[in-house]
Amino acid sequence: MTEGPLQRVARGALTENLGLKGIALVAAVFLFAAIRGGEDAEREIDVEVVTLVPSENSERVLVADVPESVELVVFGPRSLLSGLRDDDVAPVQADLRTTRARSFEFEEALFDLPAGMRIRSIMPASFPIAWEPRKQRRVRILATIRGEPIPGQGLKAEPEIEPAQVTLVGAQSAAEEVDTAATEIIDLAGLGAGRHSRTVRLKRPPRHSWWEGDPEVTVRFEIGPDLVERTFRDLPVRVVGSAWTMNVHPRLVDVVLRGPRETISQVDSEHLLPFVEGRGLEEAGPGNHRIPPRIEDLPAAVDVVRWQPGHVLVDVRRPR
């Protein structure tokens, strides 16, 4: 079939001068990219805020809530923005060391942006500034204890803490609400009998305050038999070993026992039989005698801590 004029023109457009056509296509792509890359675009980035405040020896303490970062909307050539990252922009400094203003403004000049970029907006654009008088006070350190030693063991006494006190420094309102300093947690789980020592830091104080010197403290404690005290009330006092007439006042007394927790929990008040020894009172003769009651057959490792009252009055009368 013979080609017509239009067919010959179309075939020539597709097949003739292919090298030149290829060069023209590549040039067009580069030209498009250059024009596209030169267009302005926008992007959001977060910039860290570094706050410069007066030294710790200053008479005033900053109590404002300073933002940790600000959000910038920057604009510039698309080719520059496409590779921009948050950490490409240095932290912005909020210098409050000498200012007496009531707010701080984030001005564009404070930000170190790459060449060719500008700031469209800053969020937040500012923050309020508030100060309080600086105050310091000495407070007592308390050990924070948790966990249980091995069964049958417990703390024998309050832990010893060195140093026993620490200085709290900071804004007046923060310092006034603190009476004690607590250590980090000391876990007793699984510890056996003996003396133990732990070096720990203090828990963080309230906002806008700090521990002077950021100290570490040493906590020493002893673990031994887990002793507890238990009070048994209204136990009747008997007189034993005498045929004389003897009246006891008061007739009912209380006794406080100390011993291992498990043993003490099993003591039955009905088996506690306080008494006074009549034979010695006979030898002392008739009359009124003050004497402490006694108790026998206590479980092993259980002791009498005190009587309430500490003595009873025994009226001794010789038989007629």
Q: Per-residue pLDDT tens for 269-300?
A: 999 999 999 999 999 899 999 999 999 999 98
In b/e form, how buried is each residue of 235-270, taking b as 16+ CB within 10 angstroms?
bebebeebeeebebeeeebebebebbeebbeebeee
The C-alpha atoms of residue 93 and residue 10 are separated, in whole angstroms, by 67
Rounded percentage of the chain residues whose pLDDT exceeds 90: 68
Domains present along the chain, CATH in parentheses: 40-129 (2.170.120.30), 137-225 (2.170.120.40), 228-317 (2.170.120.30)
Taking alpha carbons only, the member of 111, 113, 97, 17 closest to residue 58 is 97
Q: What 3-state DSSP class applies to 21?
A: helix
Q: Per-residue pLDDT tens for 25-63?
A: 544 444 444 444 457 799 999 999 999 998 877 899 999
Half-sphere exposure of 299 (CA within 13 A, CB side): 15
pLDDT for res 91: 95
What the block records as the tokens of 236 is 């009747």
Q: What 3-state DSSP class applies to 18?
A: helix
> Do residues 211 and 202 make contact, with C-beta atoms less than 8 angstroms apart?
yes
Q: In the predicted model, what is the mean pLDDT of the chain?
A: 88
Q: What value does the mean pLDDT take over residues 260-268?
A: 91
- Residue 284: how many CB atoms within 10 A of its CB? 12
pLDDT for res 81: 85
pTM of the model: 0.59
Q: What value does the mean pLDDT take over residues 187-206?
A: 95
pLDDT of 9 above 80: no
pLDDT for res 83: 78
